[in-house]
Structure 1
Amino acid sequence: MQKNKIASTHLFSSATVTLLSMIFSVFIFLIPILVVLILSVFTVNKIIKIDLTEMRYPEIDGLRGYLAFFVFLHHAYIWQIFLKTSTWKDPESNLFNQFGETSVVFFFIITVFLFTTKLFKNKTGEIDWLNYLKSRFFRLFPMYFFFVIIIFIIVGVLTQFTVKVPFIENLKSIISWLFFNVSKKSSDLNGLKDTFIINSGIAWTLPYEWTFYFLVPLIALWFKIKVNLKAVLSFTFAAAIIMVLNKSSLRHFTPFLGGIIVALIMNMKKTEAIFKQKKYTILALLLLGVSVYFFNGGKKPIQIIISSLVFLIIASGNSFFGILSSAFSRKFGQITYSLYLLHGIFLFILFHFVVGLERAKTLTHLEFWMIVTVSILPLLFICQLTFKYIESPLMSFSKTKK
C-alpha cells in the first residue's frame, strides 16, 4: 500500500515537473517571437496605415490574426524538420502541431458561427443569393488569384520556364489551382514534384470553406428563410461537386458543427454576460493547456469540443484581459487572409532563394529560429500591402456594386 502511494506520488511529481518544464521552455522560446511580432505590427501600421473596420465581434476579429500567425509558426517548424530530413510531415511537438491544426479548427468554427448568426438575425426572411455569392467571390478570390500567380511564377523559375509535361496535364493542374481544388496529388505543376511545398499545402482548407458557403441556402431553410428552390438545388449541387472533386473527408466538417452549436447557444442571449467574466478567461487558457499537454493535434472530437468551448467564451465578448478587443489585435486580425495565404510562399522563398537550401540545411536550431523571427517584419509588411491594395478595395467594391 505504502509502495503504491510512493509510486503515485513520484508519478504525479514527475508529470508536474514535465508540465512546468514544458511551460518554461515554451515561454523562453515564444517570448522573443512575440516581442518581435508586437514591434512588427506597430512598425507596419506606422508605415502602411489601414482603417480599423468596426465589427460586431471585435474579439473574434482580434483572434484571427494570432491564429494565422500560429499557422505560420506551425509551418516554420515543419520547414526545420524538412530541411534536415527531406520529409514533409506534421510536427511531433504537441504545441507546434496544434498551432496548425487547432488554428484551422478555430477558423472553421468562426466561419460557420458568423454565417449561422447572420441567419439568426435575418429579419426580412429573405436573402439576395446573387449578392451573397458576389461578396464571397470578391472576398476570397482576388487575393487567392494573386497567391496562385506567385506560385505559377515560382514554378516557372524552378523549371526554367520550359514545358516539362504534356499540355493537358498542365492544364488540369492549373485548373485545380485556380478553382481551389488543390491536393498533394493534383498540386504538381509542370512536373515539379511536391509543388504544394511552395505554399506549405495551406490551400487544402479552402474547398471546405467554399463547400459551407454553398450549403448556406440549404441551412437557411431551417431558419425559415425564403429560399428559391433553384438557388437551393444549384448551390447544393455546387457543394456536392466540390466535395467529390476534392475527395472531402467528413471529419473536417466536425468543427462546422461546433460553430453551429456555439451560434445556437449565443442566441440564448444570457451567455454573453456570464462568459465575459475573468474566471472564464482562466478556464479557456486551462482548457487550451490541457489540450496541448495531452494531445498531438487538434482534429479529435474531444479537442474540437475544447476548441468550441474556448470559442464560445471568446464569442461571448471575453477579450482575454482586453488583448483580443484591442485596436492592435484587430488591426493585426484584418490581414489574416493575406497572412494565411502568403506565409507558406514566404517561407519557401526565404529558405530556397534567400538563405539557400544547402545553407539552410546546416542551420543550428538557434540560427533557424533567429531567421524566422527576423522574417516576421517583412512578412507582415507584405501582408499589410496586399490587404490594403488587393483585399480591402475589392471587398469595398463588392459592397457597392449592385
Structure 2
Amino acid sequence: MTYDAVWPLCIILVILIVFLSLPIPLFYRIQVVRNSQEDRLYTIDGLRGYLAYLIVFLHATVWYNLVHSKEFKGAAGSYIDLLATTGLCVFFMISAFLFWTRWLKYQGKIEVIPFYIKRFFRIAPVYYLCILCLFIAVMNKTHWHLDVTVLSFIKQIFAWLTFGLFSFPSINGFGLTSLLVMGVVWTIPYEWMLYLTLPIIGVFSKNIWSSLSFAIILCVFTILAQFYWKIHFLAENDMMPFASYAIGILIATLKQMQWQPRLNDFCGSVIMVGCICLLLSFCHKYPEPLMLVLGGIFFYCVVSGASLFGLFKLKASQRMGRVSYSIYLCQGLVLYFFSDVLIVTKHFMMCSIWHYWGVLLGESIVLLLVACCLYIFIEKPSMDRGKQIASKLSQKTNIKHFIT
C-alpha cells in the first residue's frame, strides 16, 4: 500500500460520516436542509464536504513527501490527485451555479451593495482568522525578527488582507508562507472575480435564451483559452476556474429551462459512478478537457437530484457540507501543526505507511471538529450579521441598487 492509495481515504470518510452521526450536541447545532422546496440543496450540500476532504487528502501527500524525503511535491497523476483537482473544478461549478440561479430567478435585478456585504461577511471572518494564525506561524518560524523593511512587511500583510486579489507574497522573507495554508487561498481571488463580474455579466440573465447563448460562448472561449490559446495575463495559463464557472452557468441555465434528463436517483447515481470510473481510467494529470466534461456531467446529475445512492442526503453528509468552507480553508494549518509543529506525530507518521494513515485519520477528525466550531461560533453568526446589515441598509436608504 502506498501513501496515495484511495481505499484508506474511503475508510477515513466513512469514519468521519459515522462520527458526524453521533448524538453530539455540537453537531446538532449545524443546520441541515429540511424544506422540501430546497431539495436541490440536499445533494449540493452533501457533495461539498467530500470535495473538501479530497483536497485535504491530496495536500496530506505533500506534507508526507516534505517530511519523508524533503521534497515539495504531491501525488501528481495519482487517483487522489485526479479526484481532488476535478473536485476543485466542481467547487467552482457549484459557486457559479448557485449565484447564476439567483440571477436568473430575479432576471438580473439583484441588489448589488447588499450582495457584496453578505459575501464579505460570508468569506472574510474565517479567512482573517486563518491569516492571523498564518501570521503567528510565520513570525514564529522567523523567530519574531523582522527580516524585511517595515514598508515591505506592511505591503505583504496588506496583500493577504485584501484576499490576494493581486498576489500572495511571502511574509517577512519566509519563502514557504503559502505552504502553511497549503496554498488553498489561491481560489479566494477567483471567487471575488466571480462576485465582481456578476453585476456586469448579469445582463445576460434577463432572458433565458441570452443566458444560454452566453453560457455556451463562455464555455467554448474558456476551454479554447485553456487548451489551445496562449493567455499571458494569467499565471500558468490556468483558465480551468473560469471554464468551471462557465459550465456552472450553463448548468444553471439548463436547470432553469428544465432541460434535464428524467432520471431517478438510482440512474443518476450510476452515471455519477461511471463519470468517476472514466476519470480514473482516461485522465492522467490536471488539467485535461475530459476533467471538465466528466465533472460537468457529474455535477449536472447532482443538481438533477442524484445523491450517489443516498450518500449526499445523509444528515452527516449535509453537516460536513455546511462546514466545508472552514474545512477547506483551515486544512493547511491543521496539517502543518501535525506534520511540523507536533514533533510526536511528525515522527510517528514516518514509522510506516500505516502510521501515516493513522495520523491522517486523526488530522481529519481534528479538522472536522475545528471546522464545526468555526461554523457555529464564527461563520454562521457572521453570515447572519451580514444579512442583517444588508437588510437594514436596504430599509434605511429605501433605494434598490439594481442592475437593469
- TM-score, normalised to structure 1's length? 0.82
2:151 and 2:284 map into 1 onto residues whose CA distance is 40
The answer to whether the Cα contact below 8 Å between 1:276 and 1:313 also exists between their aligned partners in 2 is: no
The question of 1:391 aligning with 2:379 is answered yes
Counterpart in the other structure of 1:178 = 161
2:337 and 2:120 map into 1 onto residues whose CA distance is 28
1:141 and 1:330 map into 2 onto residues whose CA distance is 23
Number of equivalenced pairs: 359
Aligned partner of 2:13 among 9, 30, 34: 34
The question of 1:373 aligning with 2:361 is answered yes
Counterpart in the other structure of 1:291 = 279
**Quick check: which has more Rg, 1 or 2?**
1
Counterpart in the other structure of 2:72 = 88
Q: Secondary structure at the match of 1:275?
A: coil
Counterpart in the other structure of 1:262 = 251
Write the deviation string for residues 192-225 of structure 1: whole angstroms up to 9, x where unpaired. Answer: 1211110111111111111011010112111239
Q: Following TM superposition, by how much is the alpha carbon of 1:377 offset from its aligned partner in structure 2, in angstroms?
A: 1.9
Aligned partner of 2:318 among 311, 314, 330: 330
2:111 and 2:315 map into 1 onto residues whose CA distance is 32
Partner AA of 1:206 in structure 2: I
Task: Label 1:44 to 1:155 Cα distance change in 2 as closer, same or farther (>3 A).
Answer: farther
Counterpart in the other structure of 1:18 = none
Counterpart in the other structure of 2:179 = 197
Write the deviation string for residues 296-352 of structure 1: whole angstroms up to 9, x where unpaired. Answer: 344322210110011000011111222112222111111011000001110001111
Task: Label 1:283 to 1:400 Cα distance change in 2 as closer, same or farther (>3 A).
Answer: same
2:362 and 2:135 map into 1 onto residues whose CA distance is 27
The answer to whether the Cα contact below 8 Å between 1:182 and 1:204 also exists between their aligned partners in 2 is: no
Counterpart in the other structure of 1:73 = 57
The question of 1:105 aligning with 2:105 is answered no
Percent of counterpart pairs with the same letter?
A: 26
| C-alpha RMSD over aligned residues | 2.6
2:28 and 2:266 map into 1 onto residues whose CA distance is 33
Write the deviation string for residues 354-383 of structure 1: whole angstroms up to 9, x where unpaired. Answer: 136972684322211111112222211111
The question of 1:274 aligning with 2:262 is answered yes
Q: Secondary structure at the match of 2:143?
A: coil
Counterpart in the other structure of 2:198 = 216
Q: How do 1:287-326 and structure 2 match up within 5 A? A: 287-326=275-314
The answer to whether the Cα contact below 8 Å between 2:130 and 2:329 also exists between their aligned partners in 1 is: yes
2:319 and 2:24 map into 1 onto residues whose CA distance is 8
Write the deviation string for residues 43-101 of structure 1: whole angstroms up to 9, x where unpaired. Answer: 48544532424345220011001111111111111211222232222313421212331
Counterpart in the other structure of 2:241 = 252
- TM-score, normalised to structure 2's length? 0.82
Task: Label 1:244 to 1:174 Cα distance change in 2 as closer, same or farther (>3 A).
Answer: farther
1:299 and 1:384 map into 2 onto residues whose CA distance is 32
| Ranges in structure 2 where 5+ consecutive residues have no aligned partner | 208-231, 393-404
The question of 1:134 aligning with 2:113 is answered no
1:44 and 1:174 map into 2 onto residues whose CA distance is 42
The answer to whether the Cα contact below 8 Å between 2:62 and 2:74 also exists between their aligned partners in 1 is: yes
Task: Label 1:306 to 1:65 Cα distance change in 2 as closer, same or farther (>3 A).
Answer: same
1:207 and 1:128 map into 2 onto residues whose CA distance is 22
Write the deviation string for residues 233-277 of structure 1: whole angstroms up to 9, x where unpaired. Answer: xxxxxxxxxx97978743431111111111122122252x61334
1:302 and 1:64 map into 2 onto residues whose CA distance is 21
Task: Label 1:400 to 1:306 Cα distance change in 2 as closer, same or farther (>3 A).
Answer: same
Partner AA of 2:84 in structure 1: G
Task: Label 1:153 to 1:44 Cα distance change in 2 as closer, same or farther (>3 A).
Answer: farther
Counterpart in the other structure of 2:135 = 152
Partner AA of 1:118 in structure 2: R
Write the deviation string for residues 111-159 of structure 1: whole angstroms up to 9, x where unpaired. Answer: 0011111111116x52210001101100001110111001001112111
Partner AA of 1:111 in structure 2: S
Q: Secondary structure at the match of 1:266?
A: helix
1:30 and 1:372 map into 2 onto residues whose CA distance is 9
